[in-house]
Structure 1
């Protein structure tokens, strides 16, 4: 009993030391970024216009959640139809990938595709996390064998003609059968790591348009690529190429990822804050 109590006390002391080290960084990050600008009632659901100070007793996890919610509100993502749960997953993976050095340092862009929404709705977002702006919010197609209007089936197998879930890093562009296209590197083993072999890329397609929806009741479908509207594909490729994060989501589809590690995401925020304070 005595040995157990000693171990418990040591664990509590260790957690307290971690909290004392992490919380000041997270609190300063929360207040120092553009997210510390006044939050309106319509965005935050509060009664005042001031950002609430994080409580010093709040855990790193709780402060991390506050940071994500502040970012979510600043981007206006809820008004654009993106659920917070999906955004939180995307942000957690983005921070994990930055911490692991798998994203470019000169771009803070996050692209989210949410297949919880049908193809008739705008379900692709490109967020600029440096300025808290939504650069693009548009239609995107899913794979032919993933479903009709809704994507329900996913695969990492060649010639499956299905979409693949998970985190990707954008790569270089090239000229293919669909014209200007952007290569994608799948990062989630078992879910999308065959993207390059399957030629799963970003490209434009005539069947991704409001006119196609009016005529067919849904978008056209690709062979697994996140196909874009023709009038936006050049702008989107220009913005996101060269090592930015893409996350393709579907809830309750059996997807899991090592990049959904919240401790690593918190560490990435601490690292970002430390670099900012030293510059």
Structure 2
């Protein structure tokens, strides 16, 4: 029987609310957007969601393409929990919530170690921009560009992409108590990969969270300090 938890029917959530696009970001509007998305996804940690919104606002204010959708991955949760959310920012809706893998050297049941180093087989955190879709060894997949120098900006070189995997599903959770692990990619269930890629390709934002104190206190997107953003590394469209 097909699970219905993954996708929210269009127009069902917050249908009467007016859109609050990222172009309108400001302190009060950020709070309104946070409230709307939190209502649409009550199981997401509001601190994680607020951090993702703040990082996205900072990226847009520094020239990154205006996103229509935002994916949030909370790596502070164990892998047997649905820790990927995709939001429609213009409509204030939750489009998807599901499982997502971390790298095999980031941890077993939980992810605790992260890297920007090629060959580390670890996940990386921070703000990314989803770029082009392609067909590769894992089938339909999506390339990611890391926007944070020293944190995730080697994502493309490392081939950190979103792809489907047969080890990301509830059967694995039932059998092993967790899902399988990747070589650092945020792999998802093969059943939803097309929906994920089609919603994120072409410049949408992907935010991967973990309470790493060094990153939380030094990230240019979280501090929104123009001096630390290294603008030449920002992936601008057009």
1:69-116 per-position Cα deviation (integer Å, ceiling 9, x unaligned): 4233442x2x2x21111101100111112222222x4x5101000011
Superposed counterparts of 1:1-279, under 5 Å: 33-34=18-19, 61=27, 63=28, 66-75=31-40, 77=41, 79=42, 81-103=43-65, 105=66, 107-256=67-216, 257-261=219-223
Residues in 1 aligned to 2:185 and 2:107: alpha-carbon distance in whole angstroms? 14
Unaligned runs of 5+ in 1: 1-31, 36-59, 265-279
Query: Where does structure 1 differ by over 2 angstroms across 4 or more consecutive aligned residues?
Result: 32-35, 63-75, 261-264
Whose helix proportion is higher, 1 or 2? 1
1:252, CA displacement in angstroms? 3.3
- Per the alignment, do residues 137 and 259 of structure 1 end up closer, same or farther by CA in structure 2, a change over 3 Å counting? same
TM-score, normalization by structure 2: 0.80
Residues in 2 aligned to 1:253 and 1:227: alpha-carbon distance in whole angstroms? 25
1:179, CA displacement in angstroms? 1.0
Relative to structure 2, which stretch is displaced further, 253-262 or 232-241?
Answer: 253-262
CA contact (8 A) 2:37 2:94 kept: no
Aligned-partner SS, 2:221: coil
CA contact (8 A) 1:72 1:84 kept: no
Structure of larger gyration radius:
1
Unaligned runs of 5+ in 2: 1-16, 21-25, 227-238
Residues in 2 aligned to 1:176 and 1:34: alpha-carbon distance in whole angstroms? 36
Number of residues of Structure 1 aligned to a counterpart in Structure 2? 203
1:210, CA displacement in angstroms? 0.2
1:248, CA displacement in angstroms? 0.3
How large is the Cα RMSD of the aligned pairs? Answer: 2.0
Corresponding position of 2:234: none
